[in-house]
């Protein structure tokens, strides 16, 4: 009769890291949203300026 010892599967080290961080939806923070909005406004203004200059 053989005795077998079940060895537990090693824990995933990334699980604990993800639990301690801010896990959830992959949304940009408000600062990134503001930057993106500002870039879009500047882009629109530069296009309008270029259209105004062209004959």
pLDDT at 23: 59
Domain locations in the chain? 29-55
In 3D space, the residue among 22, 23, 21, 39 whose CA is nearest the CA of residue 31 turns out to be 39
Q: Do residues 25 and 33 lie in contact, with contact meaning Cβ atoms separated by under 8 Å?
A: no
Q: What pLDDT, in 10s, does the model give residues 29-39?
A: 899 999 999 99
Distance between CA atoms of residues 53 and 46, nearest Å: 11
- Residue 9 pLDDT level (bands cut at 50, 70, 90): confident
Distance between CA atoms of residues 2 and 36, nearest Å: 66
pLDDT exceeds cutoff 90 at 4: no
The proportion of the chain whose per-residue pLDDT surpasses 90, expressed as a percent, equals: 35
pTM over 0.75: no
């Amino acid at each position: 009769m053989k005795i077998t010892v079940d060895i537990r599967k090693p824990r995933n080290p990334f699980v604990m890291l993800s639990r301690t961080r801010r896990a959830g939806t992959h949304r940009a923070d408000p600062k990134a949203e503001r930057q993106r909005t500002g870039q879009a406004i500047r882009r629109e203004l530069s296009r309008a300026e270029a259209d105004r200059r062209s004959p």
